[in-house]
Amino acid sequence: MRTALAVLAGGIHVLAFAPFYWWPLSIVSLSLLFYLWLDASPRGALFYGYVYGLAMFGFGVSWMYISLHTYGNMPAWAAVLSVGLGIAYISIFPALCGLLQGLLKGSDPWLRLCLVMPSIWIFLEWIRGWFLTGFPWLSMGYAYLETPLSNLAPLGGVYLVGLVSAMSAGVLAALVRLRSINSVFSAIGIAVLWGAGWVLNTTAWTLQEGDPIQVGIVQNNVSIQSKWDEAESQRIIEDYINASADLLEQDLIVWPEAAIPDYLDNLNANFWRFVEHHPADFVFGVLFREQSGDANLYYNSVASVTDRIHLYHKHHLVPFGEYFPAQWLFGPLLNMLDMPMASFTAGRANQYPLIAAGNSFAVSICYEDAFPNDGRFQIKRSGLMLNVSEDIWFGNSLAPHQRLQMARFRARESERVMIRASNTGLSSIINWKGGVDSHAPQFERAVLKGEVQPRSGITPYVAYGDVSVLVLVGTMLVIFILREFVILKQKLRQKERDA
* 3-state SS class at 455: strand
CB 35 within 8 A of CB 28: no
Distance CA 395, CA 420 (A): 18
Alpha helices (H) in 40-152, listed in sequence order: 42-60, 64-65, 76-90, 92-102, 109-111, 117-128
Note if 366 is an active site residue.
yes
* 3-state SS class at 215: strand
Q: Which entry of 366, 390, 413, 415 is annotated as an active-site residue?
A: 366
Q: How far is CA 163 from the centre of its chain?
A: 16
Buried b (16+ CB within 10 A) or exposed e, 151-173: bbbbbbbbbbbbbbbbbbbbbbb
Distance CA 293, CA 66 (A): 38
Q: How far is CA 158 from the centre of its chain?
A: 9
* Neighbouring C-alpha atoms within 13 Å toward the C-beta of 86: 21
Helix 24-39 / helix 92-102 crossing angle, nearest 10 deg? 50
- The dihedral through the CA atoms of 104, 110, 115, 119 has a sign that is positive
- Give me the phi and psi of 329, to 5 degrees please: -90, -45
CB 247 within 8 A of CB 253: yes
Distance CA 302, CA 140 (A): 31
- Give me the phi and psi of 462, to 5 degrees please: -60, -35
Distance CA 438, CA 418 (A): 11
Note if 97 is an active site residue.
no
Q: Which entry of 125, 314, 368, 415 is annotated as an active-site residue?
A: 314
Distance CA 370, CA 399 (A): 12
Distance CA 180, CA 308 (A): 67
Note if 257 is an active site residue.
yes
In degrees, rounded to 5, the angle at the alpha carbon of residue 309 between the alpha carbons of residues 306 and 312 is 115
Ramachandran assignment for 210, one of left (phi > 0), alpha (psi -120 to 50 degrees), beta (any other): left
Residues 6+ apart with CB under 8 A from 96: 46, 49, 124
CA distances from 129 to 126, 178, 371, 489 (A): 5, 33, 7, 37
* Identity of the residue numbered 243: A
Q: Which entry of 97, 114, 257, 390 is annotated as an active-site residue?
A: 257
Q: Strand 428-430 to strand 418-422: parallel, antiparallel, or no bridges (unpaired)? A: antiparallel
Q: Which residues are catalytic?
A: 257, 314, 366
